[in-house]
Amino acid sequence: MRELGLELPPVATPVAAYVPSKIVGNIARSSGQLPFVNGELGVLGKVGAEVSLEEAYEAARICALNALAAVAQTTGGIDSIASIIHVTGYVASAPDFYDQAKVINGASEVLGEIFGTGGKHTRSAVGVAVLPLNVPVEVEIVCQIVKIRND
């Protein structure tokens, strides 16, 4: 990641009765991650209305890094992640915004940059009505981990 100029962000503390990530067997999941950067959210609103495709792409990239950080914290580091299995990308969308796939490419592409072939994942991208705290994008990931750390 250093070569890519990327670093894992600190993991946000959930504001509720859940955890940022959990491992069962060789599968680790993240909670749905919002585009927090240093505890601050960037642009808010619906993509195709208040938020541009470019801004939403960047938000998806941030969400993916936050999801990766959440998983890495539980697995004992990013080297414990063997591959990315699945990405679910929720895009808060204006009713006539149809480029959810291009938005969630922000998540898929950064995972590809970091993991190469292991970053190839299945994915669903959908356009929802609204997201928590009015963020434009939320991303959840499922990963395969190298070693079973707990169950």
Work out whether strand 81-92 and strand 122-128 pair parallel, antiparallel, or are unpaired. Answer: parallel
Considering the rule CB under 8 A, would residue 29 count as an interface residue with a copy of itself? yes
How far apart (Å, rounded) are the C-alpha atoms in residues 33 and 42? 14
Of residues 115-134, those binding a copy of itself (CB under 8 A)? 119-134
How far apart (Å, rounded) are the C-alpha atoms in residues 64 and 89? 9
CB of 138 to a copy of itself, least distance (A): 6
Distance, CA of 125 to chain centre: 12
Nearer to a copy of itself, 55 or 63 (CB): 63
Q: Which distant-in-sequence residues (6+ apart) come within 8 Å of 45 by Cβ?
A: 51, 92, 134, 136
Considering the rule CB under 8 A, would residue 61 count as an interface residue with a copy of itself? no
Considering the rule CB under 8 A, would residue 21 count as an interface residue with a copy of itself? yes
Considering the rule CB under 8 A, would residue 73 count as an interface residue with a copy of itself? no
CB of 83 to a copy of itself, least distance (A): 8
Q: Give the CA angle between residues 150, 17, 138 to the nearest 5°.
A: 90
Interface ranges with a copy of itself (CB under 8 A)? 14-22, 24-27, 29-32, 46, 83, 85-88, 90, 92-102, 104-105, 108-109, 111-112, 119-134, 138, 140, 144, 151
